[in-house]
A and B are shown apart, each in its own frame.
Chain A
């Protein structure tokens, strides 16, 4: 079974750093795009960025470029989303996603809720 299992909820203060993770299983991790989608409380879905672990190709939405770091550890089939200095406006649910046919998202993680207090 193809699965993405994300790390647990986080409560942080503004200015702190954070790295959340996503463990992939059931498919070829290096050769499939993996990425992140944000959903702020009560709002819609926002595509943040994706990467191909095999070659390190990373693509960002302009809204998030420079604000986040996307990385992966091929040997552990883990993807990461990282912030160096959180803001209150980063409070959201973050979904790890796997790229599918036609660039769709065919598998979603369960989500990681990040709460940032000012």
Chain B
């Protein structure tokens, strides 16, 4: 089965900062990679699918890149509502799996 590893596990940043989160797959997943944002007590929300496609309604400050085994999620200018936990998920073949998450905190 394919394992997903996210780094860092947590990150402190300030409003307006540019941040990059990383996700690595244990073997190639081509571009079958999605990113989600989860706020406390809420269901996750899809941000990016197919490694780089922005889900409808998601602000353009979010962007995704990568293919094969290494992927990134970049937030170009952090807003207060972006402080949350972010998960990547592969869908190359079943069983799909999520990374362990990156918690983005206010500095």
Interface residues on A, range: 20 to 34
A101 at interface by CB-CB < 8 Å: yes
B101:A103 contact, CB within 8 angstroms: no
Within 8 A of A (CB), among B51-107: 51, 53, 55, 87, 89, 91-92, 94-101
Within 8 A of B (CB), among A24-50: 37, 44-47, 49-50
Within 8 A of B (CB), among A90-115: 95, 100-106, 108-111
How many pairs, one residue from A and one from B, have CB atoms within 8 Å of each other in the complex? 73
Interfacial chain A residues near B46, Cβ < 8 Å:
100, 104-106
Across the interface, A61 reaches (CB within 8 A) one of B31, B34, B50, B95, namely B95
Indicate whether A105 sits within 8 Å of B50 (C-beta atoms), given known contacts A45-B44, A45-B101, A111-B43: no
Residue ranges of B at the interface with A (Cβ–Cβ < 8 Å): 1, 31-34, 36, 38, 43-46, 49-51, 53, 55, 87, 89, 91-92, 94-101
Residue ranges of A at the interface with B (Cβ–Cβ < 8 Å): 37, 44-47, 49-50, 59-62, 95, 100-106, 108-111
